[in-house]
Amino acid sequence: MRKYKQLLLANKAWSVELLDEAPDFFARQVGGQKPDFLWIGCSDSRVSPEQMTMTPPGGMFIHRNIANLVNADDLNLMSVLQYAVAVLEVKHVIVCGHHGCGGIKAAMDGGTEGPVDRWLGNARAVHQAHAAEIAGAGDQDQRINRFVEVNVRDQLVRLARTSVVQARFAADEPLALHGWVYDLRDGLIKPLLEIDSTTRLDDIGAPDRVLV
Ligand code: CO
* 203 alpha carbon – ligand 1 mean position (Å): 27
Position 121 scores a pLDDT of 97
Active-site option among 42, 63, 146, 154 = 42
Of the pLDDT bands very low, low, confident and very high (cuts 50, 70, 90), residue 203 is confident
Provide the residues around ligand 1 (an ion) whose CB is within 5 A: 42, 44, 101, 103
Which among 163, 178, 173 has a CA at the least distance from the CA of 197? 173
Which among 211, 123, 121, 205 has a CA at the least distance from the CA of 161? 211
Active-site option among 46, 118, 141, 196 = 46
* 99 alpha carbon – ligand 1 mean position (Å): 8
Catalytic-residue membership of 96: no
Query: What totals of helices (H) and strands (E) does the chain contain, helices first?
Result: 11, 5
Position 205 scores a pLDDT of 63
* 68 alpha carbon – ligand 1 mean position (Å): 7
CATH of the domain at 131: 3.40.1050.10
* 49 alpha carbon – ligand 1 mean position (Å): 13
pLDDT at 24 over 70: yes
| Mean pLDDT across the chain | 94
Whether 182 and 125 share a structural domain: yes
The rounded distance, in Å, linking the Cα atoms of 100 and 64 is 16
- H or E segment at 93? strand 92-98
Whether 77 and 135 share a structural domain: yes
* 43 alpha carbon – ligand 1 mean position (Å): 6
Position 209 scores a pLDDT of 41
Whether 84 and 141 share a structural domain: yes
pLDDT in tens, 135-188: 999 999 999 999 999 999 999 999 999 999 999 999 999 999 999 999 999 999
* 104 alpha carbon – ligand 1 mean position (Å): 7
pLDDT at 208 over 90: no
Find out whether 176 and 91 touch, Cβ atoms under 8 Å. Answer: yes
Provide the residue range defining the domain that includes 5: 1-32
pLDDT at 207 over 80: no
Position 2 scores a pLDDT of 85
Whether 27 and 124 share a structural domain: no
Q: Looking at residues 37-50, what average pLDDT do you find?
A: 98
Whether 65 and 21 share a structural domain: no
Of the pLDDT bands very low, low, confident and very high (cuts 50, 70, 90), residue 1 is low
Whether 151 and 198 share a structural domain: yes
Whether 118 and 193 share a structural domain: yes
Whether 181 and 107 share a structural domain: yes
* 34 alpha carbon – ligand 1 mean position (Å): 28
Of the pLDDT bands very low, low, confident and very high (cuts 50, 70, 90), residue 204 is confident
Total domains present in the chain: 2
Active-site option among 63, 98, 99, 146 = 98
* 155 alpha carbon – ligand 1 mean position (Å): 14
Whether 19 and 70 share a structural domain: no
Position 202 scores a pLDDT of 86
3-state secondary structure of 147: helix
Whether 105 and 132 share a structural domain: yes
pLDDT in tens, 67-98: 999 999 999 999 999 999 999 999 999 999 99
pLDDT at 210 over 70: no
Catalytic-residue membership of 42: yes
Active-site option among 101, 130, 146, 154 = 101
* pTM for the model: 0.93
Residue 211 located in a structural domain: no
